[in-house]
Amino acid sequence: MVDVFIIGSKGIPAKYGGFETFVEKLTQGQKNKNIKYHVSCLSDNYREFEHNTARCFNVKVPSIGPAKAVYYDIGALKRSIEYIRNNNIKNPIIYVLACRIGPFIGHYKSKLKKLGGTLIVNPDGHEWKRAKWNKAIRQYWKISEKYMVKHADLLICDSKNIEKYIREDYKKYNPKTTFIAYGADTQKSKLSDDDVNLIRWYKEKGIKKKKYYLVVGRFVPENNYETMITEFMKSNTDKNLVLITNVEKNKFYEELKEKTNFDKDKRIKFVGTVYNQELLKKVRENAYGYLHGHEVGGTNPSLLESLGCTDLNLLLDIGFNREVGEEGAIYFNKKYRNLSNLIDRVDTMSKQDIKDIGFKAKNRIKSYYTWSHIINRYEDVFLEV
């Protein structure tokens, strides 16, 4: 039996979030019964429970602002090492998602090593580039990443571009890496076009099937909302731009409104969030096109979902996005009128041309990004280690 302790997600059952969904899918779709998962869960109590046959243990964390995630990961790491020691577990694996606890990892790595354990790290994306962090926090993230790479026995990168970056920037540590992508759901929505919930949602938001371009993602500067909105406003399309994102009490939203006057363009529609996954999938399927401006991070879950659902995908032309989309997407850059001209062009594409590019996108997901494929790869790695 191989015991794998997963630290860094908020826990399962998953309600939201990339890492949370990953852990949910990994444990839910487990194939090899020789692996026992232990999953840390952020909570306000210390209860233990079972979910998807995984042992889940709650870690209680005080509300201390941005440091809460660091405190949580350290608490989960301590609890895991204690459990390994107390239960005399042989050859355990601790898999840490993201690089939040680098300055502290050396201390715990030495304890884990004495217990015959292996430390695996998922470096995630370039967290130190995110605009939401101030300069001091960004410096912490970069230092933390360095120490996580230094002490990891293996780094699992969900993007080939991230793997290349780790190998090149931290060459002096001779990091051992492997690439395993994030997974995507390839099944079509269970909702029909005449579903009452879908019709009601469309009516509330003032949109119609195939008459809108769609954006789904966190409302942060590095996802290039400014470029997508300003360029869309320059285009001649009669379709809407539907943005599924949370802008409540968002300073960036107010700044962008003042800068671009997007509220004067009736085509721009911020519609809030959609937590009903079947509804969200149907809204994706019925979009004329999807715009993806994410610039920071590895394999982005919302991009995978879009490629699996939407036929026409317009992606910001960077390594992360090209790696995933390849020939199943069309690419834009941040130059003046590049995206607006592209929107005008794809507005006139034939249904067959759109269908053809959509086929390539879906085939890409089915070939490389299904959860079944991802689970197989993870199980192989855990058993090899």
User: Hey, what long-range contacts does 273-278 have (CB within 8 A, 24 or more apart)?
Assistant: 273/244, 273/245, 273/246, 274/201, 274/244, 275/16, 276/197, 278/189, 278/190, 278/191
pLDDT in the model for residue 44: 87
**What does residue 84 show for φ and ψ, rounded to 5 degrees?**
-60, -45
| CB-facing half-sphere around the CA of 2: CA atoms within 13 A | 18
Question: Which band of pLDDT confidence, cut at 50, 70 and 90, is reported for residue 131?
Answer: low
Class of domain 196-368 (CATH, top level): alpha beta
Residue pLDDT, tens place only, 149-201: 999 999 999 989 899 999 999 999 999 999 999 998 878 999 999 999 999 99
Q: Residue 319 region, left (φ>0) first, then alpha (ψ -120 to 50), else beta?
A: alpha
Domain boundaries, the chain: 2-183+370-384, 196-368
Residues 79, 40 contacting (CB under 8 angstroms): yes
Percent of the chain with pLDDT strictly greater than 70 = 97
Token pair in block for residue 347: 């507005």
**Mean pLDDT, residues 106-124:** 96
What is the value of pTM for the model shown?
0.88
pLDDT in the model for residue 143: 93
pLDDT over threshold 80, residue 136: no
**Mean pLDDT, residues 26-51:** 95
CATH of 2-183+370-384, one of 3.40.50.2000, 3.30.1510.10, 2.102.10.10, 3.40.50.20: 3.40.50.2000
Which residues, other chains included, contact 205 with Cβ-Cβ below 8 Å and sequence gap of 6+?
242, 269, 271
Strand 54-60 to 118-122 pairing? unpaired
Secondary structure of residue 95 in the 3-state scheme: strand
Lowest mean pLDDT among 128-142, 249-263, 292-306: 128-142
**Mean pLDDT, residues 101-127:** 92
**What does residue 231 show for φ and ψ, rounded to 5 degrees?**
-70, -40
Percent of the chain with pLDDT strictly greater than 90 = 84
**Mean pLDDT, residues 269-277:** 94
What's the CA gap between 383 and 34, in Å, rounded? 8
How far does the chain reach from its first CA to its final CA, in angstroms?
12
pLDDT over threshold 80, residue 16: no
Question: Which band of pLDDT confidence, cut at 50, 70 and 90, is reported for residue 301?
Answer: confident
pLDDT in the model for residue 130: 62
Question: Which band of pLDDT confidence, cut at 50, 70 and 90, is reported for residue 128?
Answer: low
Element (H, E) at 290: strand 289-292
pLDDT in the model for residue 285: 97
Mean pLDDT of the chain: 93
What's the CA gap between 39 and 59, in Å, rounded? 10
Token pair in block for residue 294: 């994410």
Question: Which band of pLDDT confidence, cut at 50, 70 and 90, is reported for residue 352?
Answer: very high
**Mean pLDDT, residues 298-317:** 92
